[in-house]
Amino acid sequence: MTDRGPFDPGLQPERTELAWRRTALAIAIGSLVSLRIFPLVLPAEGIGWGFVPGAIGLVAACGLWFAARRRQLRVTAAVRASALPGPANMPAPGAGMLLALTALATGFGAAAIAIVVASTFLADGR
């Protein structure tokens, strides 16, 4: 007889990890698309800057992928270790990954605006 308590492996922590993996995959695909499109859109003087957001996005996607796995393992271990069911014994997942994703999205938006403005000025010769 095994005493698993209130925890059923593979439910909420795994679903959350899969959602974060989909987010990381979406960021990676968007970054790859930007690596492909920015050199075509930007003038010759600004092509080097077009690779920066894509490279940062790929690094962030890899970091998010591994952070999601680490979080899932930690939450699963904490839930299995809790002796009594209830909110007091459940782990608090924290908001670090969500905050990092928000900062990344805001940074990408600001970088995209800066690249568009810079490419406009470079194209006009100002």
CB contact at 8 A, 59 and 30: no
- Helices (H) and strands (E) counted in the chain, each on its own, are 3, 0
Instruction: Give Cα separations from 55 to 36, 48, 51, 105, 121 (angstroms).
Output: 11, 11, 6, 14, 24
The series of mean pLDDT values per 10 residues for the chain, 126 residues long, is 55 81 91 84 71 86 89 79 57 68 83 78 65
CA dist., res. 76 & res. 14, Å (int): 9
Per-residue pLDDT, 124: 66
- The answer to pTM > 0.75 is no
pLDDT at 7: 55
Cα dihedral 44, 49, 53, 55, rounded to 10, equals: 90
User: What per-residue confidence (pLDDT) applies to 2?
Assistant: 53
Domain ranges of the chain: 12-124
Look at residue 87 in the predicted model and tell me its pLDDT.
56
Closest residue by Cα to residue 112 from 2, 13, 17, 37: 37
Return the DSSP state at 6.
Answer: T
| 3-state SS assignment for residue 73 | helix
